[in-house]
Homo-oligomer: A and B are copies of this chain.
Amino acid sequence: MRRFFRHPVRLVPVGFLVAILLGTGLLMLPQASAEYEYTPFTVALFTATSAVSVTGMSVVDTPTYWNEFGLIMITVLTQAGGLGILTGAALVILVVARQLGLRNRLLVQAETAEYGLGNVRGLLLRIAAIALVSEAVITLVLAGRLWLGYDYPPGRALWYGLFHAVQAFNNGGFALYPDSMLRFARDAWVCLPVAAGTIIGGLGFPAIFDASRTWRQPGRWGVATKLTIWGSLALLVVGFVGLLAAEWGNPHTIGPYGWADKMLTVGTQDAVLRTGGFEFIDMAALDEESYPLLLGLMFIGGGSASTAGGIKVATFFLLAFVMWAQLRGEPDVTVGRRRVASTSQRQALTVALLSVALVAAGTTGLVALAENVRDYRALFEVTSAFSTTGLSVGLATTLGEPGRLVLTVLMYVGRVGPLTLGSAIALNTRRRLYRYPEEQPIVS
């Protein structure tokens, strides 16, 4: 057990795999489908992976294919996946901090205090409490709205509220409507709680705790927190303005709405775009110019150690700072009066390049395996699966088994993270006791 924890990086991929296989077994049971028949293995595997990885992509029509037991399973798997990520990430940060050892003890004490990680049990409870309170509030608002505004019976309203609240906070993306959230695109009582839950869950607790401790003094936030919070704000603005401009006159999306409804719909879709995965705008009807924007935002994703996927906001902006320093000819990479350690730079680089390689390989695989797939659709579904966003332009449901497996693998790898998965496989536990002489090759 102790040796195991010395390399916690190996626990993460195994933990997710166990959860997915358990979920697959349960979803295959006849008790889970509306027709009370066995669900094929690849469908159950896809759905379980999609739920545990909080992606929300589906190959069957969620509300009609599964019965209530199946839908409860999806809820439980989503909640387990989401909480597993949040608490697991907190544990990894703690363990990493401890491994830094005596040399950095003072630094670590300062840091763990700053992140509020002084006490493992306290930390986990705090995260669980925030998750459950957020979900309860969203459940009540949604249930109330469905009950009063749409005449649902109270029990049904509560179930629908709970289901979508869990999906929203965990950035899950499954919906009980065949058109996802399109019917609520202009209903602020649905849009706002879903958007708020998605943003909180997608920021991640390291950033939230750090920022909330010194929220009056943003200058004292850690580098990762600054990058995550200011970066997320910047991406929200870019997505909002870009999507509004591209779709303003599109008759198939927000064209017919008044300006206030346009802002509400686009703002909500923007909030759930990088990771949430609900559709408030029909993804298959978007203007051509919206797709590159969406691809970029999905690929970047949300906050570190959050329920969001992608390469992460902090990774993206850290790399921007690295490039800027290189172009300026600066010896150090500095973010807000702090030098960024070269290990962090190397980590960000590895995540970004592995992610580009995986998306390219996945798209190539999907194009090779599926018939008559236009590239941008394959690229969209692959990016959406890898970034655990779950948005779809309609390709996923038409894929055969090989194509489904490609997306299943991408959702798993995207959730575990290419860096974590790669390290779990490649990690060298023996240390080299000598260093080679340095050379400065000119490579471009």
| Chain A residues within CB distance 8 Å of chain B | 93, 96, 206, 222-224, 227, 288-289, 292, 296, 304-305, 311-312, 314-315, 318-319, 322-330, 332-335, 337-354, 356, 360, 363-364, 367-368, 374-376, 379, 417, 419, 422-423, 425-429, 432, 435-444
Contacts and interface: CB of A to CB of B under 8 A. Distances in A.
Given A224-B441, A312-B444, A329 B427 contact: yes
A432 B288 CA distance: 45
Main secondary structure of the interface of A (DSSP, over half): helix
Give the 3 A-B CB pairs with smallest separation, nearest first.
Answer: A224-B441, A223-B441, A341-B440
A304 B379 CA distance: 31
A314 B439 contact: no
Contacts of A352: 353
A333 B93 CA distance: 24
Given A319-B353, A324-B426, A326-B419, A304 B443 contact: yes
B339 A222 contact: no
B439 A340 contact: yes
Contacts of A379: 375
29 contacts: A206-B442, A222-B439, A227-B441, A289-B368, A292-B363, A304-B443, A314-B441, A314-B444, A318-B441, A319-B349, A319-B353, A327-B350, A327-B422, A328-B423, A328-B427, A329-B423, A329-B428, A332-B436, A333-B346, A335-B441, A339-B435, A339-B437, A339-B439, A342-B342, A344-B440, A348-B443, A348-B444, A351-B444, A419-B444
Contact of A323 (B324, B354, B375): B354
A338 B443 contact: no
B353 A441 contact: no
Contact of A436 (B296, B334, B374, B419): B334
Nearest to A338: B439
Contacts of A344: 440-443
Given A319-B349, A349-B319, A375-B376, A340 B288 contact: no
Contacts of A311: 444
A211 to B, nearest CB: 14
Given A325-B346, A340-B440, A419-B444, 13 more contacts: A93-B442, A224-B442, A304-B442, A326-B423, A327-B419, A327-B427, A330-B428, A332-B432, A338-B438, A339-B435, A339-B436, A339-B439, A344-B440
Contacts of A341: 438-441
Contact of A443 (B315, B422, B426): B315
A271 B352 CA distance: 30
A292 B357 CA distance: 12
A135 to B, nearest CB: 26
Contacts of A327: 350, 419, 422-423, 425-427
A289 to B, nearest CB: 5
B340 A441 contact: yes
A344 B425 CA distance: 27
B440 A343 contact: yes
A341 B342 CA distance: 11
A328 B426 contact: yes
A392 to B, nearest CB: 17
A444 B353 CA distance: 13
B419 A332 contact: no
Which of A351, A422, A442 has the most B CB atoms < 10 Å from its CB? Answer: A442
Contacts of A428: 328-330
Contacts of A292: 360, 363-364, 367
